[in-house]
Amino acid sequence: MERSHVPVLPAEIVEFLKPDTTNAGPVVDCTLGEGGHSALLLEHAPDSRLIGVDADATMIERARYFLGPRASQVEFVCAWYDDFWLSYTGARPHRVLFDLGISTFHLAGSGRGFTFREDEPLDMRLSDSVMSAAELLSGISQEDLADIIYVFGEERYSRRIAAAIVRARSSGSLRTTGDLVETVASAVPAAYRRGRISPATRTFQALRIAVNAELERLRMALPRALAALSPDRGRMAVITFHSLEDRLVKWAFRAAAGDEAAVGRSAVTAKHSTASKFAPKLIDTVAMPEGERITVLTRRPVVPSHEEVAGNPASRSAKLRVVEKTRIEESW
Ligand SMILES: C[S@@+](CC[C@H](N)C(=O)[O-])C[C@H]1O[C@@H](n2cnc3c(N)ncnc32)[C@H](O)[C@@H]1O
Question: What pLDDT digit, counting tens, does each position of 88-142 carry?
Answer: 999 999 999 999 999 999 999 899 999 988 899 999 999 999 999 999 999 999 9
Query: Is 270's pLDDT higher than 50?
Result: no
Ligand 1 atom showing the smallest separation from residue 38 Cα: 8
| H runs (alpha helix) in 24-103 | 36-44, 57-67, 81-87
Structural domains in the chain, sorted by start: 10-100+216-327 (3.40.50.150), 111-211 (1.10.150.170)
Ligand 1: residue whose CA is nearest its atom 16? 101
* C-alpha–C-alpha distance, residues 318 and 301, integer Å: 9
Query: How far apart are the CA of 41 and the centre of ligand 1, in A?
Result: 16
Do residues 319 and 288 lie in contact, with contact meaning Cβ atoms separated by under 8 Å? no
Give the residue, out of 17, 32, 212, with the most ligand 1 atoms within 8 A of its beta carbon, to mutate for a pocket test. Answer: 32
Percent of the chain with pLDDT over 70: 92
Question: Who wins on pLDDT, 10 or 1?
Answer: 10
Ligand 1 atom showing the smallest separation from residue 79 Cα: 21
Phi, psi of 267 (to 5 degrees): -75, -15
Q: Note the pLDDT of residue 192.
A: 87
The number of angstroms, rounded, from the C-alpha of 276 to the middle of its chain's C-alpha atoms is 21
Ligand 1 atom showing the smallest separation from residue 6 Cα: 8
Average pLDDT over residues 255-267: 77
Is the CB of 126 inside a 6 Å radius of any atom of ligand 1?
Answer: yes
* C-alpha–C-alpha distance, residues 143 and 279, integer Å: 14
Is the CB of 17 inside a 6 Å radius of any atom of ligand 1?
Answer: no
Give the residue, out of 30, 88, 103, 319, with the most ligand 1 atoms within 8 A of its beta carbon, to mutate for a pocket test. Answer: 103
Do residues 13 and 97 lie in contact, with contact meaning Cβ atoms separated by under 8 Å? yes
Query: Is 173's pLDDT higher than 70?
Result: yes
Query: Is 272's pLDDT higher than 70?
Result: no
Q: Note the pLDDT of residue 261.
A: 74
Ligand 1 atom showing the smallest separation from residue 34 Cα: 9
Where are the strands (E) in the chain, listed by range? 27-29, 50-54, 74-78, 95-99, 234-240, 292-296, 319-327
Query: Is 64's pLDDT higher than 80?
Result: yes
